[in-house]
């Protein structure tokens, strides 16, 4: 196998072979073919996207012995010299190493002389923004009155640093980063021509790692070929780059969705054994959560660059949008906090456990519940994880949408009212229990089946006396209107049935300092206050809530705490 560096061997030698940058190509090709060329071009863009390559083809096009055209012959001496990188009239300058005004002067002094071999001198000044102010001034004079035999190609990664006077005299093009499919497509062509086997995943991974730069992609491919045994394999690329395969990331997300703590820790262990960079793993997870969230919003999103849309679509249906957002936030904070963890692995696992802790309640698959949603459990994390193993039973989803508004799912349930009072009286039970007293009054009326008005009356009445068949009740003066005839008759009938003997009721205004007797309404009001206090306390003592507060710098909005019935 030949080890000629691929980037050199496969450098495009004609505009037709250049990958991407169609907008720039079009301008250059049209200019060349119509012989109307600007004298200065500015290419802005990141490294390795083809600036030098374009400059060389451009120089060839201008100097080909067959004539100026966008399709130089590639055969003549000029073309071959350009291809070999030794054409005297293509002058490549790295401004980063030539910032002094004298250097620029020397360079520009030569501009006026005619080209020694070709028709045009082509100056490629890379990192042109690095020139000093006086160098720019010297350059500006040349640009104002350019000799007809000179073309300038400026390249920069930072066009903002160029003086406006220079910018205004250039035709500007932004060279785009190459996208993953452009890069992997090019790598595919190369490997097929070189008759080297490969896995498509592997090329995608290289393309992703190259971050828009074809040169970087080719040099990674070179490394991969020399690493591998004649085939470019995905696992070898991941080993080489220290990156994580998509499948490993999917496995992590799947374990989170199925609440499989054991699988989650197993995956983390594998990543650690493989020596993966956990910051990178979190970055990859962030990217996936972002795409899942996008799919949840726009389900038919065109994700041309990915062949994993099916998997992500499945996740986007299994996860609620709230949980996806939460996972994203947790991953983001996990990444931020990773340097503070005892070691990267434990920091990473804590991040996973935090996600796990906000376990989705598994939606009942038979119902039309589209997604699992987070639920803050006031149970410690161990319990949650243990529960996860044996699959939590389906329960209606309660969402906790944001980090600051937290509702307790399960505060310690308040003792039911019946429990404080003696045995509830069964309405149907007519076995005479003649005793009616302040002790059992509340539970008795609570058990009665009453119409709405009679219920109002009963709930707001306090027991005073039971004496022969007469019950004396008190009612607050402002509620005395409740004791009208019909509701009173209903209440009497219901009590009669319940006690098993005829009952008549007498109402009196409630004494101002009523001691020892209460109304069901008052009891309930107290209960509401007590429930609220208990819920508030449970939220403030919940380690999960503490964890959220610490992780997100969140606070609990008291008014949003609600007891769960
Ligand atoms: Zn030629």
What distance in angstroms lies between residue 72's CA and the mean position of ligand 1's atoms? 5
Backbone angles phi, psi at 156, to 5 degrees: -150, 150
CATH topology of domain 21-174: Rossmann fold (3.40.50)
- What percent of the chain shows pLDDT beyond 70? 82
What distance in angstroms lies between residue 62's CA and the mean position of ligand 1's atoms? 9
For 1-7, the CB contacts below 8 A with 24+ separation are 1/196, 1/225, 1/230, 3/222, 3/226, 5/218, 5/219, 5/222, 6/190, 6/218, 6/219, 6/221, 6/222, 6/225, 7/214, 7/215, 7/218, 7/219, 7/222
How much is the average pLDDT of 322-337? 94
385 vs 203: which has the higher pLDDT: 203
Report the distance separating Cα 161 and Cα 145, nearest Å: 23
- What percent of the chain shows pLDDT beyond 90? 28
Report the distance separating Cα 386 and Cα 128, nearest Å: 62
What distance in angstroms lies between residue 61's CA and the mean position of ligand 1's atoms? 8
Which H or E run includes 36? none
What distance in angstroms lies between residue 498's CA and the mean position of ligand 1's atoms? 112
Tokens of 236: 């070898």
What distance in angstroms lies between residue 32's CA and the mean position of ligand 1's atoms? 14
**H/E/C letters for each residue in 219-232?**
HHHHHHHHHCCCEE
Report the distance separating Cα 135 and Cα 189, nearest Å: 43
How much is the average pLDDT of 6-30? 88
Residue pair 41/171 in contact (Cβ under 8 Å)? The answer is yes
Residue-wise over 324-342: b if at least 16 C-beta within 10 A, else e?
A: bbbbbbbbbbbbeebeebe
CATH topology of domain 180-241: Helicase, Ruva Protein; domain 3 (1.10.8)
User: Does residue 452 carry a pLDDT above 60?
Assistant: yes
Report the distance separating Cα 130 and Cα 412, nearest Å: 68
Report the distance separating Cα 189 and Cα 516, nearest Å: 92
Report the distance separating Cα 237 and Cα 163, nearest Å: 43
User: Does residue 378 carry a pLDDT above 80?
Assistant: no
Q: Which of 271, 308, 268 is nearest to 292 (CA)?
A: 308
User: In sequence order, what are the beta bridge partners of 153?
Assistant: 41, 124
Report the distance separating Cα 278 and Cα 263, nearest Å: 17
pLDDT per position as a tens digit, 511-559: 655 555 688 888 888 888 888 888 888 888 888 888 888 888 888 888 7
How much is the average pLDDT of 369-384? 40
Tokens of 369: 């519940």
User: Does residue 322 carry a pLDDT above 60?
Assistant: yes
**If one looks up domain 417-523 in CATH, what number appears?**
3.30.300.150
Report the distance separating Cα 564 and Cα 562, nearest Å: 6
Report the distance separating Cα 491 and Cα 482, nearest Å: 12
3-state helix, strand, coil in the chain (%, to 5): 50, 10, 40
Check residue 496 and report its DSSP letter: H
Residue pair 111/136 in contact (Cβ under 8 Å)? The answer is no
Mean pLDDT of the chain: 80
Q: Select the highest-mean-pLDDT range: 151-160, 354-363, 375-384.
A: 151-160
pLDDT at 307: 60
Count, residues in the chain: 565
Tokens of 148: 């007809």
Report the distance separating Cα 72 and Cα 6, nearest Å: 23
pLDDT per position as a tens digit, 207-257: 988 988 998 899 899 888 887 777 898 888 888 888 888 889 999 999 999
pLDDT at 345: 93
Report the distance separating Cα 458 and Cα 460, nearest Å: 5
> Strand pairing of 461-467 and 231-232?
unpaired
Tokens of 55: 């400059």
User: Does residue 419 carry a pLDDT above 70?
Assistant: no
For the ranges 139-143, 205-209, 276-280, 401-405, the lowest mean pLDDT is seen at 401-405
What distance in angstroms lies between residue 299's CA and the mean position of ligand 1's atoms? 52
pLDDT at 465: 85
Backbone angles phi, psi at 462, to 5 degrees: -105, 145
- List of residues 6+ apart from 194 with CB closer than 8 A: none
> Strand pairing of 461-467 and 470-475?
antiparallel
Report the distance separating Cα 368 and Cα 240, nearest Å: 45
What distance in angstroms lies between residue 65's CA and the mean position of ligand 1's atoms? 5
**If one looks up domain 246-389 in CATH, what number appears?**
1.20.272.10
pTM: 0.55
What distance in angstroms lies between residue 48's CA and the mean position of ligand 1's atoms? 25
pLDDT at 400: 42
Q: Given strand 504-509, what is the order of strands in its sheet?
A: 461-467, 470-475, 504-509
How much is the average pLDDT of 435-460? 83
What distance in angstroms lies between residue 174's CA and the mean position of ligand 1's atoms? 28
Q: Given strand 40-44, what is the order of strands in its sheet?
A: 90-94, 121-126, 150-156, 40-44, 171-174
List the chain domain ranges. Answer: 21-174, 180-241, 246-389, 417-523
How much is the average pLDDT of 188-212? 91
pLDDT at 189: 93
What distance in angstroms lies between residue 374's CA and the mean position of ligand 1's atoms? 67
From residue 320, give the alpha-carbon distance in Å to each of 135, 184, 232, 315, 372.
Answer: 58, 33, 38, 9, 5
What distance in angstroms lies between residue 79's CA and the mean position of ligand 1's atoms? 4
The DSSP secondary structure of 364-397, one letter per residue, reads PTTTT---B-B---SS-HHHHHHHHHT-PPP---
pLDDT at 279: 93
End-to-end CA, the chain? 74
For the CA atoms of 304, 305, 307, 310, what is the dihedral angle to 10 degrees?
Answer: -60
What distance in angstroms lies between residue 73's CA and the mean position of ligand 1's atoms? 4
What distance in angstroms lies between residue 19's CA and the mean position of ligand 1's atoms? 22
Residue-wise over 93-102: b if at least 16 C-beta within 10 A, else e?
A: bebeebeebe
User: In sequence order, what are the beta bridge partners of 470?
Assistant: 467, 504
How much is the average pLDDT of 413-442? 54
What distance in angstroms lies between residue 94's CA and the mean position of ligand 1's atoms? 26
What distance in angstroms lies between residue 63's CA and the mean position of ligand 1's atoms? 7
């Amino acid at each position: 196998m030949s080890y000629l560096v691929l980037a050199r061997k496969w450098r495009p030698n004609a505009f037709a072979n250049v990958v991407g940058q169609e907008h720039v190509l079009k301008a250059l090709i049209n200019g060349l073919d119509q012989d109307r060329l600007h004298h200065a071009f500015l290419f802005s863009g990141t490294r390795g996207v083809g600036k030098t390559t374009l400059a060389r083809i451009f120089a060839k096009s201008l100097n080909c012995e067959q004539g100026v055209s966008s399709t130089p012959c590639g055969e003549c001496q000029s073309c071959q010299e350009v291809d070999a990188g030794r054409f005297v009239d293509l002058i490549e300058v790295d401004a980063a190493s030539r910032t002094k005004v004298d250097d620029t002067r020397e360079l520009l002094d030569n501009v006026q002389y005619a080209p020694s071999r070709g028709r045009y001198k082509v100056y490629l000044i890379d990192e042109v923004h690095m020139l000093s102010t006086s160098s720019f001034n010297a350059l500006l004079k040349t640009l104002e009155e350019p000799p007809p035999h000179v073309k300038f190609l400026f390249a920069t990664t930072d066009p903002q640093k160029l003086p406006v006077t220079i910018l205004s005299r250039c035709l500007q093009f932004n060279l785009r980063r190459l996208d993953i499919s452009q890069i992997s497509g090019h790598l595919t062509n190369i490997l097929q021509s070189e008759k080297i086997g490969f896995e498509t995943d592997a090329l995608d991974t290289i393309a992703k790692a190259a971050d828009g730069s074809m040169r970087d992609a080719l040099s990674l491919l070179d490394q991969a070929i020399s690493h591998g045994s004649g085939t470019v394999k995905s696992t070898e690329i991941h080993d080489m780059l220290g990156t994580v395969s998509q499948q490993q990331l999917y496995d992590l997300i799947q374990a989170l969705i199925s609440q499989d703590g054991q699988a989650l820790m197993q995956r983390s262990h594998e990543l650690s054994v493989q020596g993966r960079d956990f910051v990178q793993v979190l970055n990859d997870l962030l990217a996936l959560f972002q795409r899942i969230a996008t799919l949840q919003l726009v389900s038919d999103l065109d994700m041309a660059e990915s062949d994993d849309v099916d998997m992500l679509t499945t996740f986007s249906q299994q996860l609620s949008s709230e949980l996806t957002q939460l996972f994203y936030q947790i991953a983001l904070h996990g990444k931020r906090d990773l340097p503070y963890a005892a070691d990267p692995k434990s920091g990473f696992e804590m991040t996973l456990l935090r996600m796990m802790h906000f376990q989705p309640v598994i939606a009942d698959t038979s119902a039309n519940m589209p997604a699992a949603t987070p639920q803050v459990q006031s149970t410690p994390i161990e319990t949650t994880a243990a529960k996860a193993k044996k699959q939590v039973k389906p329960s209606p989803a309660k969402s906790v949408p944001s980090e600051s508004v937290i509702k307790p799912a399960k505060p310690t349930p308040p003792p039911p009212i019946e429990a404080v009072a003696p045995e509830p009286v069964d309405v149907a039970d007519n076995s005479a229990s003649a005793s009616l007293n302040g002790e059992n009054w509340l539970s008795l009326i609570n058990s009665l089946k009453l119409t709405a008005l009679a219920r109002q009356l009963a709930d707001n009445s306090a027991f005073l006396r039971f004496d022969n068949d007469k019950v004396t009740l008190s009612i607050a003066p402002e509620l005395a209107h409740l004791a009208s005839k019909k509701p009173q008759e209903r209440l009497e009938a219901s009590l009669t049935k319940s006690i098993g003997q005829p009952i008549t009721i007498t109402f009196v205004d409630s004494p101002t300092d009523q001691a020892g007797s209460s109304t069901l309404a008052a009891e309930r009001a107290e209960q509401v206050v007590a429930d609220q206090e208990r819920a508030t306390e449970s939220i403030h003592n919940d380690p999960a809530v503490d964890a959220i507060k610490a992780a997100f710098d969140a606070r609990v909005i008291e008014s949003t705490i609600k007891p769960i019935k």
